[in-house]
């Protein structure tokens, strides 16, 4: 179905399902970790993703862990303790051939924490102050 990789291609993955709608997260952890005004996540069932190597994971908060490429530093995933059967994959890691699988407009979460200099486009996406209820 979908495929993707880190920037240096050391980490590669394929999925057996299409991604859920994109989630634009404006929380400070996503901002710091992505180096961008927000991180875009695509949820997949954990079992639907096949990785070519074991992911390097770090504990990013009391409720979540994130993974990255140990060679190039690309962010790969985020997993919430409360949703162990779901893996959020960084949308930018998708291969170009898989981009058509992403359906919008998606939703913005933790919009209340967004960078003061950034305003999301009025594209019909829903915006939530924190988690989407
Ligand atoms: Zn890499
Ligand atoms: Zn976040």
The three state secondary structure string of 43-108 is EEEHHHEEECCCCEEEECCCCEEEEECCCCCCEEEEEECCCCCEEEEEHHHECHHHHHHCCCCCEE
Per-residue pLDDT, 132? 87
Verify cis geometry, omega within 30 degrees of 0, for the bond prior to 98.
Answer: no
CA of 126 to the centre of ligand 2 (A): 16
Per-residue pLDDT, 133? 72
> Which residues have beta carbons under 5 A from ligand 2 (an ion)?
25, 27, 30
Distance CA 12, CA 28 (A): 27
CA of 113 to the centre of ligand 1 (A): 29
Distance CA 29, CA 59 (A): 11
21-52 pLDDT, tens digit per residue, is 999 999 999 999 999 999 999 999 999 999 99
Domain ranges of the chain: 3-115
CA distances from 31 to 20, 34, 35, 82, 118 (A): 21, 5, 6, 22, 12
Q: Which ligand is nearest to the CA of 55?
A: 1
Q: Which ligand is nearest to the CA of 24?
A: 2
Residues in the chain predicted with pLDDT less than 50, given as ranges, are none
Per-residue pLDDT, 104? 87
Per-residue pLDDT, 95? 98
CA of 62 to the centre of ligand 2 (A): 13
DSSP 3-state assignment of 14?
A: strand
CATH number of 3-115: 2.170.150.70
Per-residue pLDDT, 20? 96
Q: Which ligand is nearest to the CA of 128?
A: 2
Q: Are 120 and 114 in contact (CB under 8 A)?
A: yes
The encoded tokens of residue 52 equal: 């070519």
């Amino acid at each position: 179905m979908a495929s993707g990789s880190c920037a240096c291609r050391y980490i590669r993955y394929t999925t057996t399902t299409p991604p859920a709608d994109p989630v634009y997260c404006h929380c400070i952890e996503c901002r710091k970790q992505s180096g961008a005004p927000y991180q875009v996540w695509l949820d997949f069932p954990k079992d639907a993703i096949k990785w070519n190597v074991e992911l390097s994971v770090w504990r990013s908060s009391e409720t979540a862990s994130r993974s990255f490429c140990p060679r190039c530093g690309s962010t790969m995933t985020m997993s919430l303790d409360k949703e162990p059967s779901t893996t959020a994959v960084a949308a930018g890691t998708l291969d170009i051939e898989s981009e058509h699988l992403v359906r919008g407009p998606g939703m913005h979460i933790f919009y209340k924490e967004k960078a003061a200099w950034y305003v999301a486009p009025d594209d019909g996406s829903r915006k939530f102050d924190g988690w989407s209820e």
